[in-house]
Amino acid sequence: MGKNLNFLVVDDFATMRKVLRNLLKQSGHENVVEAEDGVSALQIIKTQKIDFIISDWHMPNMTGLELLKSIRADKEVSDTPFLMITAETVPDSIISALKAGVSSYIVKPFTAEVLSEKIAKIMEKMG
Amino acid sequence: MDQKFIDAFLEGTIDVIKTMAFIETKPGKPYMKNDNAAVGDVSGIIGLTGAVIGSLALSFSEACILRIVSNMLGEEMTTLNHDIEDAVGEITNMASGGGRKILANGGLNIAAAIPTVVLGRNHSIQHVLGGPSIIIPCSTEDGPFVVDICLVERSK
């Protein structure tokens, strides 16, 4: 389902972007663009067709939460599915992300199967 | 050091390596380390605060971390390079997160700093408290690594 989705992966660690690309590939998703921070991600979103965003939470310059808020505030891309990656489950942080309109979150570490399920559930909700 | 800290961070580490790299870990008998010499060839260290003060370090043999990162990336890694450094930092971060989540379920809220990675044989690990630390030696099919913990619980 949705194997032609164009993914944008945002993480300040190049290796984690590679790991995510590998996990997406295992799930059959080959179209992946990378951004090293939220600022780069916003530039990519304005110029390329992005169907799904996966972003780390803690990043310099612009956090994943700030990126999410920027996207939700831009009418042209505000409906883009957004999956937040986090290493911890601090309730206040999760609530902030949900209030800001995150589609879902996923806690590291996770398998390709878990990632695939999250993506599928989000896309199913969108209809 | 209370056993619960050893159990939590060991479980967090084993879970990360199994989930992200599909590698089984066999923990051995813990022992005390009284110096700063790292056991492995590349180490990640992360400071901990909140209900405890101290640090967690993971120290990997070259063969072990090359296999772990190769499995994580889906490509064969043959040298200790920047990708390996990045990965060790991320593994340490995730292991810390996993351990802290277990401890949080028991009412202990612990925050972590950004991990530091040191690469190269004969490097040293400087724990926040200086030492000594508890080492849990771990074996995998491709080589050993250790979980190295040095922390104290803050008085309530």
| Mean pLDDT to the nearest integer, A55-78 | 93
How, if at all, do strands A104-107 and B116-119 pair?
A: unpaired
- Euclidean distance between CA atoms A8 and A6, whole angstroms: 7
> In chain B, which residue's Cα lies nearest the Cα of A88?
B97
In the block, residue with structure tokens 């992360």:
B46
B96 chain-A contacts, CB cut-off 8 A = 87
CB-CB neighbors (< 8 A) of B90 in chain A: 13, 15-16, 19
Q: Which domains does chain A possess?
A: 7-126 (3.40.50.2300)
Whether pLDDT at B95 is above 90:
yes
Contact: B94, A88; criterion CB under 8 Å: no
CB contact under 8 A, A109 and B101: no
Q: Is B68 on the interface with A (CB under 8 A)?
A: no
Q: With an 8 Å Cβ cutoff, is B119 touching chain A?
A: no
| pTM for the full predicted model | 0.89
Among the residue ranges A13-17, A64-68, B84-88, the one predicted with the least confidence is: A13-17
Nearest-Cα distance to chain B for A97, in Å, is 19
Mean pLDDT of chain B, nearest integer: 93
Structure confidence at residue B62 (pLDDT) = 97
What does the domain layout of chain B look like in residue ranges?
3-153
Angle at B78 between CA B135 and CA A111, to 5 degrees: 65
What is the pLDDT averaged over residues B97-108?
A: 92
Instruction: List residues bridging with A55 in a β-sheet.
Output: A10, A84
Distance (Å, whole) CA B109 – CA B72 = 29
Residues 5 through 34 of chain B touching chain A, CB cutoff 8 Å: 15-16, 19-20
Q: Is A14 exposed, middle or buried (0-12, 13-18, 19+ CB in 10 A)?
A: middle
pLDDT at residue A116 is higher than 90: yes
- B103-106, Cβ contacts within 8 angstroms, sequence gap of 24 or more: B103/B4, B103/B5, B103/B8, B103/B51, B106/B4
Q: How many residue pairs from chains A and B have C-beta atoms closer than 8 A?
A: 50
B50-80: pLDDT as tens digits: 999 999 999 999 999 999 999 999 999 999 9
HSE-CB for B112 with a 13 A CA cutoff: 28
Residue A2 reports pLDDT greater than 90:
no
A15 CB neighbours in chain B (<8 A) are: 69, 72-73, 83, 86-87, 90
From the candidate CATH numbers 3.50.30.60, 3.40.50.620, 3.40.1550.10, 3.40.50.920, the one assigned to the domain spanning B3-153: 3.40.1550.10
Please give the residue of chain A at the shortest CA–CA distance from B85: A15
Pick B20's closest partner by Cβ from A13, A26, A109: A109
The answer, yes or no, to whether residue A126 has pLDDT greater than 90, is: no
pLDDT band at A3 (very low <50, low <70, confident <90, very high): low
